[in-house]
Amino acid sequence: MAQTLLQVEDLHTQFYTSRGVVRAVDGVTLHVDAGETVGVVGESGCGKTMTALSILRLVPDPGRITSGRILFAGKNVTKMTDDEIRDFRGNDVAMIFQDPMTSLNPVTKIGSQIEEAMTAHQRFTQTLARGRVVELLKRVRVPAAESRVKDYPHQFSGGMRQRAMIAMGLSNEPSLLIADEPTTALDVTVQAQIIQLMKQLNRELGTAMMLITHNMALVASLCQRIIVMYAGRIVEEGPVDQIFKSPQHPYTWSLLRSVPRVDEARKERLVSIRGLPPDLLNPPPGCKFHPRCPFVIDKCKVDPEPNLGEVDVNQVARCWVLMRNVKDESLEAAKTSALSKEAAEKLKAPVAEVGGGAGG
């Protein structure tokens, strides 16, 4: 058993808006082991990014961590002083953001932006840091790194900027790298390169990675473990192969059904999940997924969601039904009925539409 690096216990992050309290993160408990890669998946607005920002205590206003504990290598992040949290950010845990086009300061040279990430933590002197910038850019495969350190972000392409962001994230050799949808803003060929790069870095440096995404393909190729989030809570968690083979929560099942798979028979139809994630200001009673769930039973509409229960070795799910209890015929029915009317119409047409990636 590998050593636990990050332990999040019963984390609640809430936003106090004029319209009411939004429970963006609603009792999340998770852990990341040293050197491990964990994927956090779910649709937009499921609390993935807020969980990550909470770990770094960067929740934007009017949000606040209201309860829970975040332990990193034995240190309690929630109790850190301003100086301690400052030294923790970027040093112990680094974060890469979704949109490389806006995540770099437009009026500061790329080199300086990477350099200051290092000098902020007194691990490297200025001279040492300056030398390391080129080395880091080379490591993330930025061509002509020596001359490009003097460039400004607008002189970099999207893929190059994301590489620079990764170089920045790795500059202090953090033990955990949180990547928040690192490939969403990039085109497909560049995505592949970035994934390749992250895989390699994880292997070579042993950096643990928490990958936030709604891209199942990305999780499949990068991660060992998956955490599925819905409406601010974890609904299922387990090893990647197991979850892909036998998801137990209907939401996980639906997410997987909405992704095209090369290894499956062509007759299997792609299914979109009906409706939208719930408005967290006003969540539905019972299980928050029940209005969209194809296998809903009466209990789901009234009773609060169950606790995460063990469904297999290392696999837990939060559901009254569980996929293994769903009969084959209702499974078949769900595959077609889960389609929206328009989508069903489209399927009748000769040209089948296949969305790129898992939506988004």
Partner 1 sequence: MRGALLPSQLRAITSTRSGALTIFIVRRILWMIPILFFVILITFTLMHLAPGSPWDKAGGRQLSDTVINNLNIRYGLNKPVAQQFLLYIWSVVHFDFGLSYQYQNKTVSGLLLESWPYTATIGLLAFLLIIPVGVGLGVLAALRQNTRIDYITMGFATVAASFPNFVIGALMVVVLSVLAYKATGGNFYLPAAGFGIDDSLIMPVVTLALLPIAYTARLTRASTLDTIRQDFVRTAWAKGLPERLVVIRHILKNSLIPVVTTLGPTFAFLVTGSVIVETVFSIPGIGRAFVVAIESRDYPMILGTTVLFSLVIAVANLVVDVAYVFIDPRVRLT
- The contacts of residue 228 (CB under 8 Å, 6+ apart) are 41, 42, 234, 235, 236, 237, 243, 249, 251, 252, 255
Residue numbers of the site for partner 1 (CB under 8 A)?
A: 56, 58, 60, 86-91, 94-95, 97, 99, 102-108, 116-117, 120-121, 152, 154, 165, 168
CB 230 within 8 A of CB 42: yes
Distance CA 184, CA 48 (A): 14
Pairing of strands 176-180, 93-96: parallel
Give 66 or 105: the residue with its C-beta nearer to partner 1: 105
Min separation Cβ 58 and partner 1, Å: 6
Write down the residue that tokens 């999780």 correspond to.
219
Distance CA 110, CA 123 (A): 20
CB 235 within 8 A of CB 229: yes
Tell me the backbone φ, ψ of residue 212, rounded to 5 degrees.
Answer: -95, 125
Give 121 or 261: the residue with its C-beta nearer to partner 1: 121
Give 87 or 312: the residue with its C-beta nearer to partner 1: 87
CB 142 within 8 A of CB 151: no
Give 69 or 123: the residue with its C-beta nearer to partner 1: 123
Min separation Cβ 320 and partner 1, Å: 39
Give 74 or 106: the residue with its C-beta nearer to partner 1: 106
Min separation Cβ 309 and partner 1, Å: 35
